[in-house]
Amino acid sequence: MAEQDASAASRTETVEDHHQDSGHGFALRERLDAREQRGLRRELTPTERVAARSRVAADPSGDPPEFEGDEQVILASNNYLGLADDERVQRAAANAARKVGTGAGASRLVTGDTPIHRALERDIAATKETERALVFSSGYAANVGTIAALAPDVIFSDELNHASIVDGCRLARAETVIYDHADANALAAAMAERDEQAEEDESWLVVTDSVFSMDGDVAPLAAVCDAAERHGAWVMVDEAHATGLYADGAGIVGREGLGDRVQVQMGTLSKALASQGGYVAGSEALIEHLANAARSFVFSTGLAPPAAGAAREALAIAREDERRERLWTVVERLRDGLDGMGYRVLGETQILPVVVGDRGEAVALGEELAERGIVAPAIRPPTVPEGTSRIRVAPMATHTDAEIERCLTAFRAAGHAAGVLDE
């Protein structure tokens, strides 16, 4: 038996080596080695469950993960309200599976459109105060599908927009103008310059995140709308990290009262709403167009009914005050504590980027935190610009006071051990 296993392994290696050496192959081992040398190689780290505390395993490759040791405090999750393991949300997912099925079974335009999808879309539209909403299989699919389906002639995109927006711009094959991050004056100047050579019937789209995932800051949406309106452009706002957390769940657009000035409101169900999927909210005409022209919607199986059921229940909970108020209390305590130690903490939202700067020091800090039971890995280039490596702290409403104190104690000790904090 051992000889057979060895023989099979030998054959596998021979086939892999053959493909690596082929003149028309992809040299994946060489690519991985190059990534390793640049300090960009990443490993999968399974987490036992999605919660404020969990055990974490090393990359098991093709084997089942083995969870050993104590639970660690998770400060790297987008499960901001801690609803992923909430019994009400889990029950809603189970009910949807029993009533509708575990999968949609087909594209929404074939037979995959179910009452649970329509109910979720009605709730999102009501929360966002729009005529309709449309649910996609992921936030990524919502962004790339929507931008490509709108097919603008020119796109003005914030330089720190999410990768899904960047890829949407590429798929749209539009002229894309990148403006300085969160700088409405730079946007206005770019639009004025482009207007000098614009054809009369050009369509323009301004697209920006509302809350930026790596910096924790907020786009100046009112000023962005001002610039867009001077040129007759549409505005699209990605509320992935804001949905469920502001203005009774309506996001930054709702908080700022800009619903009538933002033509396309996009968001995800996979962060504060603890499920899976993405959505676009807007006018009846927009949603009808996307349902017919967004390829990531038309040619994709509908969102799984349990995910839709879970998201609907989570949205209802998020629209209440208790969870959101607890989250902001946790955020304030963490920010004050980290600031008081001498860390540089960016942003103004539930995302607390602790900027270290040097890539190696940030990695060392993340490892020292892990040694102390805190899961908050380093974020490095190319995810963030060179010289701005950081620890992205993302607390949950379900973190206890004791866990927050444990986190702060760990950051102090880890900072000294990694040489990031002064003695």
Q: Which string of DSSP letters, residue by residue, matches 314-368?
A: HHHHHTSSHHHHHHHHHHHHHHHHHHHHT-EE--SSS-EEEEEESHHHHHHHHHH
Q: Are residues 258 and 371 in the same domain?
A: no
> Is residue 172, in this structure, part of any structural domain at all?
yes
Q: Are residues 252 and 368 in the same domain?
A: no
Can you give the pLDDT at residue 8? 45
> Is residue 41, in this structure, part of any structural domain at all?
no
Which of 270, 291, 318 is the endpoint of a domain? Answer: 318
Residues of the chain above pLDDT 70, percent:
95
- Rounded to an integer, the average pLDDT of 214-219 is 97
User: CA 182 to CA 150: how far, in whole Å?
Assistant: 23
Can you give the pLDDT at residue 15? 47
Q: Are residues 153 and 194 in the same domain?
A: yes
Can you give the pLDDT at residue 65? 84
Q: Are residues 191 and 276 in the same domain?
A: yes
Can you give the pLDDT at residue 281? 98
Residue 11 has pLDDT above 60, yes or no: no
Range of the domain at 345: 321-417
Confidence of residue 415 (pLDDT cuts 50, 70, 90): very high
Q: Are residues 269 and 350 in the same domain?
A: no
Average pLDDT, the chain: 92
Tell the burial category of 226 from Cβ atoms under 10 Å away from its Cβ (0-12, 13-18, 19+).
middle
Can you give the pLDDT at residue 49? 76
**Residue 269: CATH number of its domain:** 3.40.640.10
113-138 in b/e form (b: 16+ CB < 10 A) is ebebbeebbebbbebbebebbbbbbb
Q: Are residues 297 and 377 in the same domain?
A: no
> Is residue 64, in this structure, part of any structural domain at all?
no
Residue 179 has pLDDT above 90, yes or no: yes
User: CA 404 to CA 401: how far, in whole Å?
Assistant: 5
User: CA 13 to CA 78: how far, in whole Å?
Assistant: 39
Residue 170 has pLDDT above 90, yes or no: yes
Residue 21 has pLDDT above 60, yes or no: no
User: CA 406 to CA 400: how far, in whole Å?
Assistant: 10
Residue 272 has pLDDT above 50, yes or no: yes
> Is residue 270, in this structure, part of any structural domain at all?
yes
Q: Are residues 333 and 399 in the same domain?
A: yes
Cβ(248)–Cβ(254) below 8 Å: yes
Can you give the pLDDT at residue 68? 84
Q: Which residues lie below 8 Å from residue 245, measured CB to CB, with a gap of 6+?
A: 80, 81, 251, 272, 318, 324, 327, 350
> Is residue 28, in this structure, part of any structural domain at all?
no
User: CA 364 to CA 59: how far, in whole Å?
Assistant: 19
Tell the burial category of 200 from Cβ atoms under 10 Å away from its Cβ (0-12, 13-18, 19+).
exposed
> Is residue 65, in this structure, part of any structural domain at all?
no
Q: Are residues 264 and 241 in the same domain?
A: yes
Beta pairing partners, 238 = 209, 266
User: CA 387 to CA 377: how far, in whole Å?
Assistant: 17
Residue 286 has pLDDT above 60, yes or no: yes
| pTM score of the predicted model | 0.90
Which of 264, 289, 318 is the endpoint of a domain? Answer: 318
> Is residue 36, in this structure, part of any structural domain at all?
no
pLDDT tens readout for residues 119-165: 999 999 999 999 999 999 999 999 999 999 999 999 999 999 999 99
Can you give the pLDDT at residue 197? 87
Number of domains in the chain: 2
pLDDT tens readout for residues 343-378: 999 999 999 999 999 999 999 999 999 999 999 999
Residue 178 has pLDDT above 90, yes or no: yes
- Rounded to an integer, the average pLDDT of 63-68 is 84
pLDDT tens readout for residues 86-105: 999 999 999 999 999 999 99
Task: List the beta strands (DSSP E) in 159-215.
Answer: 175-179, 204-209
Of residues 64 and 177, more confidence is placed in 177
Q: Are residues 274 and 361 in the same domain?
A: no
Q: Are residues 99 and 202 in the same domain?
A: yes
Residue 240 has pLDDT above 80, yes or no: yes
Q: Are residues 210 and 343 in the same domain?
A: no
Can you give the pLDDT at residue 22? 56
- Rounded to an integer, the average pLDDT of 168-190 is 97
Residue 40 has pLDDT above 70, yes or no: yes
Confidence of residue 58 (pLDDT cuts 50, 70, 90): confident
- Cis peptide bond prior to 152, omega within 30° of 0: no
Indicate the residue type of 413: A
**Residue 370: CATH number of its domain:** 3.90.1150.10
What is residue 23's three-state secondary structure? coil
Lowest mean pLDDT: which of 157-161, 239-243, 276-280, 384-388? 384-388
Which of 281, 301, 318 is the endpoint of a domain? Answer: 318
The torsion defined by the Cα of 104, 106, 108 and 111, in degrees rounded to 10, comes to -90
Q: Are residues 174 and 287 in the same domain?
A: yes
pLDDT tens readout for residues 1-10: 444 444 444 4
Beta pairing partners, 327 = none
